[in-house]
Amino acid sequence: MTRNLITPVQNTWCPGCGNFAIQHTLKEILSGLENEGHSLDNVVLVSGIGCHAKIADYLNINSVYAIHGRTIPVATGIKLANPRLTVICCAGDGDAYAEGLDHLIFAAKRNIDITMIIHNNRVYGLTTGQYTPTSPLGFRGKSTPAGTTEYPFNPLELMLASGATYIARGYTRKMPQLAELIRQGIMHKGFAFIDVLQICASFFNMTEYYGQRVYDLTDHNAGDFAVACAKAREWDYNRDTPIPLGVFYEQSLPTFNDRNPLRDLSADERIHRIHDFFEASK
């Protein structure tokens, strides 16, 4: 029986928030996977802390709330304990690029087989508008009333340098494309990273700005690292240049589990070992 993927929990996102588009895109993808015969019992969603994180309350699948910036350690543990599971992380730009940055880099370096969806509204929305690592220079918010004095970093370049094997950027107002990017990321074997530009309707509404600049990558060779680097640099999250959307880079390489000396252990054997470890630690 097809389950209702939207929970009855009251949704408290602000009207117009980009999180709605990500929630409904994920719902459509998961419904599609279920219709194709994939059991959603084998899917786990891990969210962090922030407005985005409530998606774990609103989607009716197995989910875990991690602490701030720690979606990846939790997701990595789940994947290592049971490699058969499809593990999806949702994290905000503050959650993933500030508090959790080291984990993000190491997940890419390890090529752990999880999918990372960044709700990148370029502001801390839940705490009412502080700047994040991808806020543009001069951003005026609660913690920077005179404007930030820092340049943002470019997460796509960072992921390329760190070894991610699937790197894409989508936009919440282009939902069919976003669905394809996330779906491909879920099907990708290895660390899949999707930076999703979304607006924060209350503290950083970039609708007009993005509407004038986003365009789709075409005739792009996503298998060429140098080409991917050049494309990723086309927009640095600060300059007023065109903003490409699509798959920047895709590579098939062994995952962390493929190289794991214990890779042949079944999920049951792994769970017994974890149980024994905790018993011995008492």
Residues that bind ligand SF4 in the complex, under the rule CB under 6 A: 13-14, 17, 19, 51, 121, 125-126, 200-203
Contact indicator for 79, 112 with CB cutoff of 8 Å: yes
Residue corresponding to tokens 């959790």? 100
Q: How far apart are CA 177 and CA 172, in angstroms?
A: 9
Q: How far apart are CA 281 and CA 95, in angstroms?
A: 31
Of the pair 13, 237, the CB lying nearest ligand SF4 is at 13
Q: How far is the CB of 51 from ligand SF4 (least distance, A)?
A: 3
Helices (H) and strands (E) in the chain, counts: 11, 8
Contact indicator for 246, 165 with CB cutoff of 8 Å: no
DSSP state of 14: P
Cα→Cα distances 228→123, 196, 224, 244, Å:
26, 17, 6, 11
Axis-axis angle for helices 225-232, 155-162 (nearest 10): 160
Of the pair 126, 178, the CB lying nearest ligand SF4 is at 126
Q: How far is the CB of 205 from ligand SF4 (least distance, A)?
A: 8
Cα→Cα distances 8→2, 27, 59, 158, 201, Å:
16, 14, 9, 38, 23
Q: How far is the CB of 50 from ligand SF4 (least distance, A)?
A: 8
Of the pair 19, 63, the CB lying nearest ligand SF4 is at 19
Of the pair 202, 251, the CB lying nearest ligand SF4 is at 202
Spell out the residues 6+ positions from residue 41 whose beta carbon is closer than 8 angstroms to its own: 62
Q: How far apart are CA 194 and CA 116, in angstroms?
A: 6
Of the pair 142, 273, the CB lying nearest ligand SF4 is at 142
Of the pair 78, 200, the CB lying nearest ligand SF4 is at 200
Of the pair 192, 200, the CB lying nearest ligand SF4 is at 200
Q: How far is the CB of 129 from ligand SF4 (least distance, A)?
A: 8
Of the pair 83, 125, the CB lying nearest ligand SF4 is at 125
Instruction: Give bridge partners of residue 62 from the DSSP assignment.
Output: 44
Give the CA diameter of the chain.
59
